[in-house]
């Protein structure tokens, strides 16, 4: 085993310290001598195989090999980091420490919290080799996953597919990413995995024959130009084929009908790649719009290659990738290849740090108050996103995720540009701020010092930087509103010479159905609470003599009348709920009320109130089926209510939309709604069956007329058959 490892290291690594490798090998063997793996093998087989992956498949340097052999010592044995630092050096100890921290994050639980991601990512920023060892560790665990129970298999496979595979792609480790995806696929959907594998195997000879037919005349031409090259069929990975089948809703045969070859040139001159492209296009007709030049504009992970699609023999489409040997190594082993081609191979290499600057961007722009689930989703989004390439007015290139908008572009330039963005020009034309950008667009942002972020921006921006900045601004604005509400409250209390402890305010807020003091103060600030009524009633209640309160049952109403009056009066002198403004018996009162969720009334609907126990008056639409049923049992609890003349509050309404299914229907529906006075959508759900779709949409509206305008807009969309309001929103 040791001889094999030394042989691989000396063949693949630029510099090797054999003594250090031997010492770490013997140390790890002794440390794990009493441990076994789930397969029954000695535990040492795992760190050994991890070190072989690091030396052979993603070769970097001998320090990484030493750290790989020792990566489980601190976690699983009695030896500590101080000892490793003393015996093998600080560099090795720090890598082992980083890997140990990552491992500890996932032990005994699924990856679910943003804080875990934070620890993992920040531990790698210091030394990129930490994650390389972790990739190798995960790769070997996936290769031996058959020995653990099925529940653990699925948990580890899901974690690998969602995090490690796209993460490997971000670091340019193409080969590692593909294998992690295929192994995850095997344990998450074994039936589909085996079916795809079986069909690929059945078509193998046919494909090899066609690739030969395509390549032979091409090779003759390449030889005429004295180019040194390697040409081969590009391997198709099981998971990528399955994902295309699902995404395009097509059978295997249609997805796998596309042939693919790769031409790797042994040259340091990138111009040879373009010469080769010219030869390919001379021999076979290129397909328009299927050309990508990642040599001139590399991907974020430094991937470089030319991609084109041509019409080959028998009219079949063939994907062709053209790259140099160096580009191929970067595509396969990413960071490790970069390391190999650097003359100064130090851990503090600034260029290596650039591979993980996007990690810093995520966390530097994250608000301390940002919800953990938002941070988690942003991180996942950053892993999976494909890129577009857009330009500033001066021609500077900016990389953004697919579906980015001018607002994302503005925040990418600078947070101040984003905060004051009022409009945008794309390729010289003024466009809405929610317009999706495309590669090649030239974007100019129009700013105004009086402009501030709009809360609706959060619905269409894509980048974490934009989302985080908008939330941060919204939080600051909300704090100002809360502080203003608190100031109003304290002035009123002082004026009436009342005293409220913190607990008194908390109790009052709770009675008025507010979650906390902040929401209570916010309601005061925006005018949703009539604190004059609350405080006046409180003052009168405190000053009223005990004897003046009715004690004789004869003084009180009786029967149903008594019940209704008592319930009604129980809520007098209590402020209205968090949506206010209705008139009870034609008058504005301080009675607490709320809107029934069974029918979701909005201003303009004919409404009626129903007195409830503990929740004041519930406002229903007069046509509400639920109201009809409960009023049959006790009609005495019904009270007349009317909408006020003016109402600025937002209400939730629900719509059911049906029509002919077509690409982009969800986007068209959303745009028809959002583009009308920046309407806020609460939720939208589309289900398709054959060529039809049915959607349910809940949105915030001011009144019935407002809702009717939106219904009219949706009805005008091509393919929409019906738009109807449903009761429970």
Would you name the residues annotated as active-site residues?
75-76
Residues written for the chain: 729
User: Can you read off the two tokens belonging to residue 285?
Assistant: 């007709």
User: Can you read off the two tokens belonging to residue 558?
Assistant: 């009786």
For 71, the 3-state DSSP assignment is coil
Tokens 């790797």 correspond to what residue? 264
Apex 91 CA angle, 87 and 92, nearest 5? 55
Judge contact between 295 and 304, C-beta under 8 A.
yes
Q: How many CB atoms lie within 10 A of CB 10?
A: 13
For 359, the 3-state DSSP assignment is helix
Per DSSP, the residues of 289-324 read T--EETTTS--TT----EEEEEE-GGG-EEEEEEEE
End-to-end CA distance of the chain: 66
Closest CA to 570 of 586, 554, 593: 593
Strands 641-642 and 638-639: unpaired
Q: How many angstroms separate the CA atoms of 710 and 602, rounded?
A: 14
Per DSSP, the residues of 387-449 read EEEEE-TT--EEEEETT--HHHHHHHH-HHHHHTEEEEEETTEEE-TTPPP-TT-BEEEEE-T
Judge contact between 51 and 69, C-beta under 8 A.
yes
Judge contact between 60 and 132, C-beta under 8 A.
yes
Helices and strands counted in the chain (H then E): 32, 21
Q: How many angstroms separate the CA atoms of 356 and 343, rounded?
A: 20
Q: How many angstroms separate the CA atoms of 139 and 144, rounded?
A: 9
Tokens 């690091």 correspond to what residue? 54
Strands 317-324 and 387-391: unpaired
**Residues facing 421 on adjacent strands:** 447
């Amino acid at each position: 085993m040791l001889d094999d490892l030394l042989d691989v290291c000396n063949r693949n690594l630029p510099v090797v310290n054999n003594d250090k490798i031997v010492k770490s090998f013997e140390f790890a063997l002794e440390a794990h001598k009493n441990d076994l793996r789930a397969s029954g093998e000695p535990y040492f087989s795992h760190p050994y195989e991890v070190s072989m992956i690091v030396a052979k498949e993603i070769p970097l340097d001998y320090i990484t090999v030493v750290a790989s052999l020792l990566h489980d010592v601190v976690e699983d044995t009695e030896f500590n980091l101080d000892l490793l630092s003393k015996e093998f050096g600080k560099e090795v100890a720090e890598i082992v420490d980083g890997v140990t921290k990552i491992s500890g994050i996932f032990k005994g639980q699924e990856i679910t919290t943003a804080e875990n991601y934070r620890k993992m990512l920040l531990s790698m920023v210091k030394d990129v080799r930490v994650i390389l060892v972790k990739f190798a560790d995960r790769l070997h665990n996936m290769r031996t996953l058959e020995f653990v129970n099925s529940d653990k298999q699925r948990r580890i496979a899901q974690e690998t597919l969602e995090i490690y595979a796209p993460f490997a792609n971000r670091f340019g480790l193409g080969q590692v990413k593909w294998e992690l995806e295929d192994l995850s696929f095997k344990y998450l959907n074994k039936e589909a995995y085996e079916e795809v594998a079986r069909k690929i195997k059945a078509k193998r000879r046919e494909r090899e024959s066609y690739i030969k037919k395509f390549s032979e005349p091409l090779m003759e031409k390449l030889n005429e130009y004295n180019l040194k090259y390697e040409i081969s069929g590009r391997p198709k990975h099981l998971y990528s084929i399955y994902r295309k089948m699902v995404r395009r809703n097509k059978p295997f045969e249609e997805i796998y009908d596309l042939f693919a070859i790769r031409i790797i040139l042994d040259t340091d001159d990138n111009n040879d790649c373009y010469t080769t492209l010219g030869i390919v296009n001379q021999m076979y007709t290129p397909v328009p719009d299927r050309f990508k030049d990642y040599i001139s504009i590399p991907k974020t992970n430094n991937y470089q290659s030319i991609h084109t699609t041509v019409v080959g023999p028998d009219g079949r489409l063939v994907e062709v990738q053209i790259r140099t040997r160096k580009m191929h190594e970067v595509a396969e082993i990413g960071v490790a290849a970069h390391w190999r081609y650097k003359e100064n191979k130090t851990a503090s290499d600034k260029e290596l740090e650039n591979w993980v600057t996007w990690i810093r961007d995520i966390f530097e722009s994250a608000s301390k108050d940002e919800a953990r689930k938002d941070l988690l989703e942003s991180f996942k989004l950053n892993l999976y996103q494909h890129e577009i390439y857009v330009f500033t007015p001066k021609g500077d290139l900016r990389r953004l995720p697919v579906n980015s908008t001018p607002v994302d572009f503005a925040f990418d330039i600078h947070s101040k540009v984003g905060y004051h963005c009022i409009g945008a020009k794309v390729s010289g034309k003024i466009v809405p701020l929610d317009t999706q950008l495309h590669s090649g667009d030239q974007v100019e942002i129009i700013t105004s010092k009086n402009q501030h972020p709009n809360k609706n921006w959060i619905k269409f921006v894509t980048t974490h930087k934009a989302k985080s900045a908008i939330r941060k601004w919204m939080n600051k604005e909300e704090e100002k509103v809360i502080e203003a509400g608190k100031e109003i409250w304290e002035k009123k209390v002082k004026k009436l010479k009342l005293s409220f402890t913190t607990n008194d305010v908390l109790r009052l807020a709770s009675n008025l159905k507010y979650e906390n003091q902040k929401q209570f103060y916010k309601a005061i600030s925006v005018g949703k609470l009539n604190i004059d009524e609350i405080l006046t009633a409180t003052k009168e209640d405190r000053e009223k003599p005990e004897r003046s309160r009715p004690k004789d049952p004869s003084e009180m109403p009786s029967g149903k009348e008594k019940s209704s009056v008592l319930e009604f009066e129980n809520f007098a002198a209590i402020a209205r709920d968090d949506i206010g403004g209705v008139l009870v018996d034609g008058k504005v009162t301080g009675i607490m009320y709320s809107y029934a969720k069974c029918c979701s009334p909005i201003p303009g609907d004919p409404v009626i109130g129903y007195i409830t126990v503990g929740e004041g008056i519930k406002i229903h639409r007069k046509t509400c089926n639920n109201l009809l049923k409960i009023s049959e049992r006790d009609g005495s609890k019904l009270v007349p209510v009317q909408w006020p003349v003016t109402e600025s509050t937002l209400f939730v309404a629900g719509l059911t939309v049906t029509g002919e299914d077509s690409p982009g229907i969800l986007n068209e529906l959303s745009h028809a709604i959002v583009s009308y006075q920046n309407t806020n959508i609460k939720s939208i759900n589309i289900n398709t069956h054959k060529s039809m779709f049915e959607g349910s949409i809940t949105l915030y509206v001011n009144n019935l007329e407002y809702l009717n305008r939106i219904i009219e807009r949706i009805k005008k969309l091509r393919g929409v058959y019906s738009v109807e309001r449903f009761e429970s929103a």
